[in-house]
C-alpha cells in the first residue's frame, strides 16, 4: 500500500507499507515501512530522500552483517525524467 501527498507544486511526501511472504512456504516473512520526501529542483529533475525500516521474523535475515531481525536504510537519489 502506498500514499503520496503533494505539499506544494515542488514538494511531496509519501509512505509505503509492504508485506512479503515467500513462495516456498518458509517462515521468512518480511515487513517494510518506507517514508519518502521528494523535491523537484527543475521540471525534469527531482531529489528524493527515503528512510526505510525492514523487519523479518527470523534473526540473520538481512545481509548487512547484522544478526538482528531488522534494519534501517536511508537513501538519497536524483531522478531525471526525459
User: Rounded to whole angstroms, how far apart are CA atoms 11 and 39?
Assistant: 5
> What local confidence, expressed as pLDDT, does residue 53 receive?
92
**Ranges of the chain whose pLDDT falls below 50:** none
Whole-number pLDDT of residue 66: 60
How many angstroms from the chain centroid is the CA of residue 33?
6
Predicted TM-score (pTM) of this structure: 0.79
Dihedral (CA of 57, 63, 66, 71) sign: negative
Is 20 in contact with 48 (CB distance < 8 Å)? no
Q: Which residue has the cell 525492514?
A: 54
Position 64 scores a pLDDT of 59
**Contacts for 39-42: CB closer than 8 Å, 24+ residues apart:** 39/10, 39/11, 40/9, 40/10, 40/11, 41/10
Amino acid at each position: 500500500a502506498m500514499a503520496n501527498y503533494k505539499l506544494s507544486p515542488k514538494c511531496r511526501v509519501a509512505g509505503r507499507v509492504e508485506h512479503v511472504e515467500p513462495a516456498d512456504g518458509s517462515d521468512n516473512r518480511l515487513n517494510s515501512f518506507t517514508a519518502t520526501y521528494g523535491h523537484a529542483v527543475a521540471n525534469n529533475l527531482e531529489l528524493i530522500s527515503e528512510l526505510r525500516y525492514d523487519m523479518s521474523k527470523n534473526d540473520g535475515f538481512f545481509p548487512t552483517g547484522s544478526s538482528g531481525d531488522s534494519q534501517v536504510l536511508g537513501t538519497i537519489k536524483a531522478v531525471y525524467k526525459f
